[in-house]
Structure 1
Amino acid sequence: MLADDVAIEIWRKFALICAQAGMTATTRLPIGEIRATDASWTMYRGLIEGVCAVARAEGVDVPDDTVEEWLEFAQDFDPELYSSLHYDLTHGKQLELDALHGAVVRHADEVDVAVLMHEAVHAILKPHAAHRD
């Protein structure tokens, strides 16, 4: 039973990390600006939903309230908060893109789940990642 709990927590945290990393890196804006822009906040939600859908398709019982829990949690983030992916992008460092959104896309392909928002983040940032590998 412990292994199942660990898998759930890994996927839950991965969902939040992907949303925060993907949105702050692609928009190059802090979370406060993302929360204040309906379309961007909707995409942030969609990124969390995508990871949860992939996890469930892989047999991980991610709780139904995960998306709402993370959205509420992110409301308390400092409005000027960025992600490490954003930092790496803006400072010419190697990107963890394939470990984040690339992994979501690969897992989604394996379980036939559509993750268009993750594909978009991956496509937008891939040219930057390619020059740093």
Structure 2
Amino acid sequence: MNILMYGAGALGAYFGGRLLEKGHNIYFFVREKRALQLQKEGLHIDSPQGDLKTSDLTLFTDPEEVKNIDLIILAIKGYHLNDALPQIEMIQKNNQAFVLPLLNGMEHIPRLQETLGEEYILGGFASMIATLNEKGHVVHSNQTSSITFGTLHSRQKNICASLADIGEGITNTTIQFSDHIKKLMWRKYTFITAFSGVTTATNLPAGFIAKHDATYEVAKNVVEEMAEIAAKDGIRFTKEEIEQIAENQRQMPKESTSSMHQDFRKGLPIEVEHLHGGALRFAEKYGVQAPTIQTIYGLLKPYEHGRIDL
């Protein structure tokens, strides 16, 4: 199977590197600046799951040059989707490729389905904490990493079976199929909306959620509001599941933090509109009150496009 990793930030470079490590046909579509950096530095991964260095990369910057692709993995931030979509559409149409988006949130799914065709868009998400350093090397800071994927349309069974076969041979990360992908996507969305919101709004790592009951209550309130929104969208969590998602907020390693908080500290754009703004649009659609999410959204919205110079 020929796989195109659309984007080679921390997420795309990490999982693309893990697939390359096992000899799979992996190609990267990147912007010119990132292509030059990868050509100079190579692809480096610094990870508890094993380090990797390779310069054996196939890079594309022109969508018309991408041929014979079976699967496109979208490894981009939500705020890049608007600009990237015309290129994604060209590549997908030219190759009739399936698309596995690893974006946070849920709003991107119907948008991609409308643009590219419902039968081509798989469900999926990634779980890891990583960033790029000044040389563009991946720094993976937690102990695990995974991609979880599944079918959202009956036509996707064969491509999912092929990707699951690839996942069985991967040792330094996890690539796994799920029959309940939509529920797991909502679970991830619920967790990350709380975790990214609280760590970024406080500008503090996970240990402070565990240390202060008042801070934990904010995270818990976000989880409960997200669970109510998910229920209106057809995904119901049990009381025990909601409590576990909330409890996971303070079970994270003390110094770990969210990708949004890492971007915030670097003065980069953050996904507040894609995550919290998206949640509020779902809440409005379903008539759900979400005051805690609204508050976090309001606090972080000024930083949507990066550092503010006063």
TM-score normalized by the length of structure 1: 0.89
Name which of structure 1's ranges 69-78 and 82-91 shifts more when overlaid on structure 2. Answer: 69-78
**What is the Cα-based RMSD across aligned positions, in Å?**
1.8
Name which of structure 1's ranges 3-12 and 110-119 shifts more when overlaid on structure 2. Answer: 3-12
User: 1:116 is matched with which residue?
Assistant: 291
Amino acid corresponding to residue 60 of structure 1 in structure 2: I
Q: 2-side partners of 1:66 and 1:99: how far apart?
A: 24
Structure with the greater relative contact order (CA < 8 A, sep ≥ 6): 1 or 2?
A: 1
The alignment partner of 2:216 has SS state of: helix
Identity of aligned residues (%): 28
Structure 2 residue 191 is matched with structure 1 residue 16: yes
Q: 2-side partners of 1:92 and 1:117: how far apart?
A: 24
The alignment partner of 2:273 has SS state of: coil
Amino acid corresponding to residue 43 of structure 1 in structure 2: V
Shift of 1:92: 1.3
Deviation per CA, 1:39-58: give whole Å up to 9, x if none: 11001101111111001012
Q: Which has the higher strand share?
A: 2
Shift of 1:64: 2.8
Q: Kindly indicate whether the alpha-carbon contact (under 8 Å) linking 1:25 and 1:89 is maintained by their aligned counterparts in 2.
A: yes
Match of 1:71 among 246, 251, 255: 246
Q: 1-side partners of 2:262 and 2:306: how far apart?
A: 16
Q: Kindly indicate whether the alpha-carbon contact (under 8 Å) linking 2:196 and 2:261 is maintained by their aligned counterparts in 1.
A: yes
User: 1:90 is matched with which residue?
Assistant: 265
The alignment partner of 1:98 has SS state of: helix
Q: 2-side partners of 1:119 and 1:86: how far apart?
A: 18
User: 2:212 is matched with which residue?
Assistant: 37
Structure 2 residue 236 is matched with structure 1 residue 99: no
Q: Kindly indicate whether the alpha-carbon contact (under 8 Å) linking 2:219 and 2:249 is maintained by their aligned counterparts in 1.
A: no
Shift of 1:130: 4.5
Structure 2 residue 305 is matched with structure 1 residue 126: no
Amino acid corresponding to residue 299 of structure 2 in structure 1: I
Amino acid corresponding to residue 183 of structure 2 in structure 1: I
Deviation per CA, 1:65-124: give whole Å up to 9, x if none: 222112333343111111111111111111111111111101000000011111111100
Aligned length: 131
Q: Kindly indicate whether the alpha-carbon contact (under 8 Å) linking 2:190 and 2:226 is maintained by their aligned counterparts in 1.
A: yes
Structure 2 residue 180 is matched with structure 1 residue 5: yes
The 3 A distance-change label for structure 1 pair 131 and 94 is: closer
Name which of structure 1's ranges 59-68 and 11-20 shifts more when overlaid on structure 2. Answer: 59-68
Structure 2 residue 228 is matched with structure 1 residue 50: no
Match of 1:80 among 255, 266, 269: 255
Match of 1:28 among 198, 203, 209: 203
Q: 1-side partners of 2:251 and 2:237: how far apart?
A: 22
Give 4+ residue runs of structure 1 displaced > 2 Å after superposition.
Answer: 2-5, 61-64, 71-76
Shift of 1:60: 1.6
The alignment partner of 1:16 has SS state of: helix
Q: Kindly indicate whether the alpha-carbon contact (under 8 Å) linking 2:277 and 2:297 is maintained by their aligned counterparts in 1.
A: yes
